[in-house]
Structure 1
Amino acid sequence: MPSSARSTFQGNALAAVSFLLWGLMPLYYQFLPNASINELLAFRLLCSVPFMLLVFFVMGKPLPSIAQLRANKRSVALCGLASIIMCVSWYSFTWALTHGQVLAASLGFFINPLFAIALGVVCLGDKLTLAQKLAVFLGAIGIGYMIYQYQALPWLALLMGGFFALYGLCKKYIQFDSLTSVTIEAALLTPMAMCYLLWLALTDQSVALSGSNTQILLYMGSAPVTLLPLIFFALAIRATSLSMVGLMQYIEPSIHFILAVTLFNEQFDQVKAVSFGFIWTGLLFCSLEALPRLRQRWITHSAH
């Protein structure tokens, strides 16, 4: 196998692993039912920095210098904005996983590409293909049908999908590599997380510290559990196409959906079936449209 084709294959494999890990994440959070989400978020932020420093060490990658950070203050500021946006998406995602709402998490990441497409048009001047226009239209019908039937907005799904799309948009303007930007994002919010955890401990309000050692480790483990797939994803982006990654991202919400219905016994009623059906149909059109381009790129890579 030519080196370029081998590199693409490895990139595809890394992308698949990253989305598989994200998809299996509800299994981890089942050990933290009704967790204190504020405290869980603080533990994740606090433990993310040492974990990312370990990753830099293992990969033999140099840490960014103070001079590099000062030379690119705009990207540092954008990292701060990205961290706040990600906190909203991650907060709603974690709440869903720890409160029996895995189907909402699945819906959120199924509609995420539709938000991403809309942001690309509004903010980046992207031009939509016929399939993308159809996907956005069908997605809007699916969400609208759910709102009409339930007389309520699917807030969790909209927060997850919308803010994760905003996070992706923000990352496009950050000039640091993915691992560096993720580390900076966590580091900027670490002082706040540390102060919050210290306040909980001093006022005897900490849920994690009042539990067993296993519970404390589970709270701390939320950092590597959420960052490992992100690392695999960052490595995959360098070796494969964004189109392939875009198709593979449906692995994650598909696994969420299967776990919710088969393992967690969440209700999948007729309203959800119709709404998901519209969204799935739109995404199917986009996927079918992208397949010929992916096949041609694979042939080109293999030829070289």
Structure 2
Amino acid sequence: MRTQRVGNALAAFSFVLWGILPLYYQFLPEADINDLLALRILFSVPFMLLVMGMLKRPFPSLHTLWQDKRSLAVSGLAGLIMCISWYAFTWSLTHGQVLAASLGFFINPLFAVTLGVIFLKERLSAAQFVAVLLAIAGIGYQVWYYGELPWLSLIMGSFFALYGLCKKFIRYDALTSVTLESALLSPFALLFLLFSGFQGTSTALSSDTTTLLLYIGSAPVTLLPLIFFALAIQRTSLTMVGLMQYIEPSLQFMLAVWLFGEMFEPAKAISFGLIWLGLVICSLEALGGHLHHKLRAS
């Protein structure tokens, strides 16, 4: 029981850290996202190796990694997919679009459910089916009102769901796979930085020391919540993690509206409202199932 309470606390803390990430990126307005992505990838590797050392989880040998070639290949694919989601996410945070980030992570679970049905042959419950329909209606209303798709939100939500799907096919432990994803992409990140630095087109490398450190700091600030999440998932149920994951976009939503002064027009209120309704229905169903399971177990 104590282990589960610790797991719940770790999961909640990880989602709080993700939720307040927009505060960090306010120090990098109009950031060069290419530099930000490259430096984040490059400095993720030493940071993750340091964390694994502190947790006494040595990184596997190359021979051990090579024995599971499928996991190795999928880790590379997962890293690329995560880059796309993270690129859209950080662009929104550094360009006054925190509401778009919030919407992206509110609809992410619904993308995940859909991918589970398509690729893992999972079956939608009645509540999940209603939630997916409400999400489609919410996005459809925005398209009708604004005349365009909320591309940033859709890219974030869909690619993060694809990243989660890839994780289903990786047999390495969570910390190893996260480290490996960055390690496989590091040569490309280093080549980009060397090329842009030589050409004099790198904003980060030509900036002052404080700004450069903020660029580099994007690695630990985005990886810390992922580490706490990985530790939590070993100690608590997926149901509880699923219910708590809405902490992140809720905090981002509050920051966007109350602190950063982004406009929350009636059209967005209707769109968000439909998606929230679907998530409430799913959460009530999941919570009911969780309580029923606990009662039977006792």
Given the alignment, which residue of 53, 60, 67 partners 1:57? 53
Shift of 1:69: 1.0
User: What is the CA deviation profile of residues 64-106 of structure 1, one whole-angstrom value per residue up to 9, with x for unaligned ones?
Assistant: 1112111001100000100000000000000000000000000
Identical aligned residues as a percent: 62
Q: Tell me what 1:176 maps to.
A: 172
User: What is the CA deviation profile of residues 222-268 of structure 1, one whole-angstrom value per residue up to 9, with x for unaligned ones?
Assistant: 00000000000000111111111111110000000000000000010
Given the alignment, which residue of 82, 85, 88 partners 2:84? 88
Superposed, 1:2-151 pairs within 5 Å as 5-151=1-147
Give the AA of the match of 2:193. Answer: L
Aligned residues: 298
The SS at the match of 2:31 is: coil
TM-score (norm 1): 0.96
Distance 1:300 1:239, change over 3 A: farther
Structure 2: which 5+ residue stretches go unaligned?
Answer: none
Structure 1: which 5+ residue stretches go unaligned?
Answer: none
Distance 2:294 2:192 in 1: 49
Give the AA of the match of 1:131. Answer: A
The SS at the match of 1:108 is: helix
Q: State whether structure 2 residue 199 is matched by structure 1 residue 203.
A: yes
- What's the RMSD between the two structures over aligned residues? 1.0
Give the AA of the match of 1:36. Answer: D
Shift of 1:115: 0.4
TM-score (norm 2): 0.98
Give the AA of the match of 1:179. Answer: L
Q: State whether structure 2 residue 127 is matched by structure 1 residue 165.
A: no
Give the AA of the match of 1:224. Answer: P
Distance 1:239 1:290 in 2: 18
Q: Tell me what 1:285 maps to.
A: 281
Distance 1:11 1:157 in 2: 29
Give the AA of the match of 2:233. Answer: I
The SS at the match of 2:27 is: coil
The SS at the match of 1:239 is: coil
Give the AA of the match of 1:154. Answer: P
Shift of 1:293: 2.3
Shift of 1:295: 2.4
Shift of 1:297: 4.5
User: What is the CA deviation profile of residues 178-236 of structure 1, one whole-angstrom value per residue up to 9, with x for unaligned ones?
Assistant: 10000110000000100111112111122112221110100000000000000000001
